[in-house]
A and B are shown apart, each in its own frame.
Chain A
């Protein structure tokens, strides 16, 4: 690879708009593995706007390691065979602003690391996508050592940590604005 001297300027993003609904969703888009299969959990939550109202036209994508912390390089996310875990899924909210995924608890990608799911949020009225993370609530020691979480004050840090449901699932809400506003990330 030759030396790159000039960086190109990235193309701007734009809102996903209101009409993605017949284009981006596809069969089993939110089922990273079949519901009810061993090790599967439900990840769910609600997307809220700055008035605390559910956002009925948002779409989320998740990308995560498998339960052992391996980063998966398998194709087949769009045409799922029901067996291959690809680590990626897409879930649109319903009228009540609720999204749902069937997935596994992500494993730590290195010993002692805090496991998390990478998330990107799109919505009508949102001018550009937003990145964030969903951390598992369990390992307090790992959470305390996490570089991102430890750079946030406790109130903001909470917005990135999911709640564990009695059935073993995870609940994690997105607040686009205002009280309890989710921490969104800039990687550049």
Chain B
């Protein structure tokens, strides 16, 4: 199996080539590369033909509707799903879901999942010999407010090892899944924590070759959100791709959101 040194050499070569291309006038890349060999599992799982440009039509211009009967309000607090308190540093993660024009995405589903404070997932395929926490599952959901806001209470996830190469460790992250107003805005991504020393070493984070784009996945520590004697606050806003729909005035004002 390859070492971190081998992998880092590949990551850096791709990064350097990108920096040169931008210097020569290539546009900045805003999304991860589908073809990113340092993440070994991607080698046979990326399309080799370029994505086919299409204009979204009919169903694609709308999104499924979720409401409060789909998600219980308590699902946004990952620290109260069991009888006891989970181990780890309690945190609040909050922000807004916006579309590419800066409009709030109201009344939409946000789902998160994450490892526990030791870096262990409650998943049968997670072989990391770190302790499970009987008081932490690591799954949360909420519906965005009229201003596109979401808020989760959870614990800070630990870094965890994986089998991409020898001594591969994922930076601490929370997986996020979001819907927009158009189905074409569907996104699954990962939120990271500021200042993580594993960033330069991680092929998943580095699959986004542009530093400004990578920074968009890193939350900001927010002391205003921090609660005394209780939890540290992190702010992270998500911007979806632009909506292609012709909006009615009511929708643009957020009236299409769930109003239960």
A residues within 8 Å of B by Cβ?
1, 4, 6-24, 49-51, 53, 55, 61, 63-65, 71, 73-79, 86-88, 106, 109-110, 113, 116-118, 120, 122-131, 147-148, 151-152, 156, 176-178, 181-188
Contacts and interface: CB of A to CB of B under 8 A. Distances in A.
Chain A contact residues: helix, strand, loop or mixed: loop
A87 B59 CA distance: 10
B46 interface: yes
A13 B213 CA distance: 10
A23 B239 CA distance: 23
B133 interface: no
A23 B175 contact: yes
A76 B205 CA distance: 34
A22 B239 contact: no
Interface residues of B, number: 84
B23 interface: no
A13 B101 contact: no
Interface string B105-131: 000010111010000011101100000
B12 interface: no
A122 B188 contact: yes
13 contacts: A1-B249, A7-B100, A14-B207, A14-B217, A19-B123, A22-B122, A55-B45, A75-B258, A76-B70, A79-B69, A109-B58, A127-B39, A181-B47
B202 to A, nearest CB: 11
A51 B65 CA distance: 37
Given A7-B100, A16-B188, A79-B70, A185 B51 contact: yes
A61 B238 contact: no
Contact of B70 (A21, A65, A75, A183): A75
B73 interface: no
A38 B215 CA distance: 50
Given A13-B31, A17-B175, 10 more contacts: A9-B213, A10-B31, A12-B189, A17-B190, A19-B175, A22-B121, A24-B111, A127-B36, A130-B51, A131-B184
Interface stretch (B1-9, B86-94, B226-234, B240-248): B240-248
A68 to B, nearest CB: 13
A120 B184 CA distance: 9
B175 A12 contact: no
Interface of B: 30-34, 36, 39, 41-60, 62-67, 69-71, 98, 100-103, 109, 111-113, 115, 121-123, 125-126, 137-139, 141, 175, 177, 183-184, 186-190, 204-205, 207-208, 212-214, 216-217, 238-242, 244, 247, 249, 252-253, 258
Contact of A125 (B39, B63, B239): B39
A10 B186 CA distance: 11
Contacts of B66: 75, 77-78
A5 to B, nearest CB: 10
A113 B45 CA distance: 32
Give the residue among B32, B45, B63, B101 with the most A Cβ atoms within 10 A: B45
A77 B42 CA distance: 31
Contacts of B64: 63, 77, 86-88
A65 B59 contact: yes
A75 to B, nearest CB: 3
